[in-house]
Structure 1
Amino acid sequence: MTASAHAPAPYVRNAWYVAAWSQDLAAEKPFGLTILGEPIVLWRTASNAIHALEDRCVHRLAPLSLGRCEGERLRCMYHGLLFDAAGKVVEIPGQDIIPAQARVKHYAVIERHSWVWVWMGAAETADPALIPPAVGFDDPDYLLGHGHLDYAAEARLINDNLLDFSHLSYVHANSFGAGPQFAQTQPTITPLDRGVRVQRWRTNTFGQSNRKSPVPIDTWQSYDFLVPGVLLMWSGQYKLGAAQALDFAPPVMDDAIGGLNFTSQAVTPLTGTTSRYFFSWGPHRRHGDEATRDAMMAMAGMAFAEDKLMIEAQQRMIDVTADPRIMPTSHDRGVILFNRLVKKLAGDGGEAARDAA
């Protein structure tokens, strides 16, 4: 069975997309970005409220991200139109009458888990309960580092990469060092309402990379990959024989004897062929310190650069291939389930964000 890799990817509109790290959004300094091909301006007010509007003034289409914050309002610094937080023009210099259509699109925005989230559907339909349960820097249990990478590739390719970890044996042979046997085993994959859960025991191993154990152990890895493209994963080391004793069921996280860690990752489609990849990673406080975190982040930097090299090359090959086709393998079950879910949710929302560059 083959499938087209050329058709524009659908994305779910009624979902929360990561727009920025909280600490990167300074007070009263407008920040512009594009999500799903839509230019958006974010700004944090002096009162610490965050607002999001279409980054396009109604007068002459100047970017509002070059504007000036005035309390809870934002002034376009081309000809001075003043917008309130709902996107309505409330002042036009030298003009008393403000047309009813003088407004720009308003986006629902929430700050949570150290990320700024933007709802890409109609603002009035925004549901905070659908924000994925990531782990932020205020979590008392984990010491996290963070970063982001920009890709010259569509977000779907990065999502597919994160849904099929068999590539660890090959793309990350020099960083994570999973070994060829990693790709020989299949994880357990469970469909979720808004994603998939991927879980895996590895038995009689010494761990990998800078988290190796001096004695044989069992290791557990579990992650949820949630709409629109958010990975939440924890893993840890357990006594040899733990997997068999549990009949390969999930362990109690606190029973880990070492290496317990957590990572939150998010893929945000900027345009049809560009994406931003946010990530954090670090140890549980009982299983590491700041030095452990920094070593893990150095390894992550190497691994994510390996991914970026491969995925951007993949995108270039797709771009020059007439009617490119893919051939799924047994490791693609999670990829297929997630993409099928995205297609359904995009259709249910009545909108599919497509290749808008």
Structure 2
Amino acid sequence: MTYVRNAWYVAAWEQDLPADAPAAMSILGEPIVLWRAGEKLVAMEDRCVHRHAPLSLGRCEGASLRCMYHGLRFDADGRCVEIPGQELIPPTARVKTYPALAKHSWVWVWMGDPALADEALVPPAVGYDDPDYILGHGFLDYEAEARLINDNLLDFSHLSYVHAQSFGTGPEFAGSLPRITPLPRGIRYERWLEGTFGAAMRKSDVPLDSWQTYDFLIPGVLLMWSANYPPGTAKALGHSPPEKLDAIAGLNFTSQAVTPTGEGTARYFFSWGPHCKYGDEAMRDGMMALADRAFGEDKTMIEAQQKVIARDPERPVMPTAHDKGVTLFNRLVQRLAAEEAEARAAAA
């Protein structure tokens, strides 16, 4: 499966990363150990240069990480700085490192050319440090390709069917097409639903116009906000975005990220919660309970889909009108991956 390497991948929730212990993660099939060297976040290959023991079973010692098999100690740049019983340290005693940083409550790791690791390319997610939103968070591990999860998030028409019992989205949702706009590193979706009564825990007794928009960005990050407005708002705005118009209810935000961990496996990170003007911690907890149910429905379907595909991986799919965003995003991935391959070949 093709994925872009010159991109920031989510490796962990920052608040879930231990303060004084290493943690293991795999991205694009590469085992990585995450740890803190003081204030610095470090991402290294999870393999000691000596006997190839996993460094994620090691011990943090200030600004260094010690392998707990034979005691070799490495600094934040991956250099071995101590070999017990041996004064001479070979210059080759070095572990591969990856650019890493914390932003929007996520730990991001750059999997491509380190010289191209630009913090400006970190998707503008919403983290726990944002005072406007009251968020919950979690993650799910999938026995399925990240590409299939991306496709799921790029085609929300499944909400009417996969999530009929959770989000309670009616068939009218799948019966309408969103406005899709290509972005330099992703796709933007925009959609008005007019005269609805909300869904799931946000049911309304009166009709509303509901607005939903999200960006789906390289390598697989969804940033979505939605809100409800008085009936007639969509027509009054000519079905353009509400921009700074105050919602009457339901303003909320979700950040989601799909990280390929290996062949046929992925980790799906998510947060969700209301704007502080439109909800509280109790509403957040209710939303997260709903998300747990709905994302479990996605997981059941996508893992079953993966098994069907594995039986005949070359059989083509049949696109529908809702696959425009899927097609545009996957073409973008193919183009960027091809450009990376050409750059590597030219540098060889």
User: Above 0.5 in TM-score?
Assistant: yes
Q: Which moved more, 1:87-96 or 1:287-296?
A: 87-96
Query: 1:355 aligns to what?
Result: none
Do 1:236 and 1:253's aligned partners in 2 also have CA atoms closer than 8 Å?
no
Q: Which moved more, 1:264-273 or 1:321-330?
A: 321-330
SS of 1:325's equivalent?
A: coil
Point out where structure 2 has 5 or more consecutive residues left out of the alignment: 344-348
Query: 1:67 aligns to what?
Result: 58
Do 1:18 and 1:116's aligned partners in 2 also have CA atoms closer than 8 Å?
yes
In structure 2, what residue type is equivalent to 1:113? H
In structure 2, what residue type is equivalent to 1:28? D
Query: Residue 324 of structure 1: CA displacement?
Result: 2.3
SS of 2:53's equivalent?
A: coil
Query: Residue 150 of structure 1: CA displacement?
Result: 0.4
What is the RMSD computed on CA atoms of the aligned residues?
A: 1.2
Do 1:67 and 1:74's aligned partners in 2 also have CA atoms closer than 8 Å?
yes
Query: Residue 97 of structure 1: CA displacement?
Result: 1.9
1:92-144, CA deviations, whole angstroms, 9 ceiling, x for partnerless residues? 11222222211111111110101100011132321000000000011111100
Separation (CA, whole Å) in 2 of partners of 1:175 and 1:271: 30
Equivalent pairs: percent with the same residue?
A: 67
Query: 1:19 aligns to what?
Result: 11
Do 1:12 and 1:351's aligned partners in 2 also have CA atoms closer than 8 Å?
no
1:195-234 superposed matches below 5 A: 195-234=186-225
Do the aligned partners of residues 200 and 322 (structure 1) sit closer, same or farther apart at CA in structure 2, a change above 3 Å counting? closer
Q: How many residues align?
A: 343
Separation (CA, whole Å) in 2 of partners of 1:302 and 1:80: 45
SS of 2:144's equivalent?
A: coil
1:75-224 superposed matches below 5 A: 75-224=66-215
Q: Which structure carries more relative contact order (alpha carbon 8 Å, separation 6+)? A: 1
Separation (CA, whole Å) in 1 of partners of 2:220 and 2:242: 26
User: What's the TM-score, normalizing by structure 1?
Assistant: 0.94
Query: 1:32 aligns to what?
Result: 24
1:207-356 superposed matches below 5 A: 207-321=198-312, 323-350=314-341
SS of 1:18's equivalent?
A: strand
User: What's the TM-score, normalizing by structure 2?
Assistant: 0.96
Query: Residue 238 of structure 1: CA displacement?
Result: 0.5
Separation (CA, whole Å) in 2 of partners of 1:81 and 1:351: 38
Separation (CA, whole Å) in 2 of partners of 1:32 and 1:123: 21
Point out where structure 1 has 5 or more consecutive residues left out of the alignment: 1-8, 353-357
Query: Residue 302 of structure 1: CA displacement?
Result: 0.7
Do 1:202 and 1:219's aligned partners in 2 also have CA atoms closer than 8 Å?
yes
1:140-178, CA deviations, whole angstroms, 9 ceiling, x for partnerless residues? 111001110000001000000000000001000001111
SS of 1:223's equivalent?
A: strand
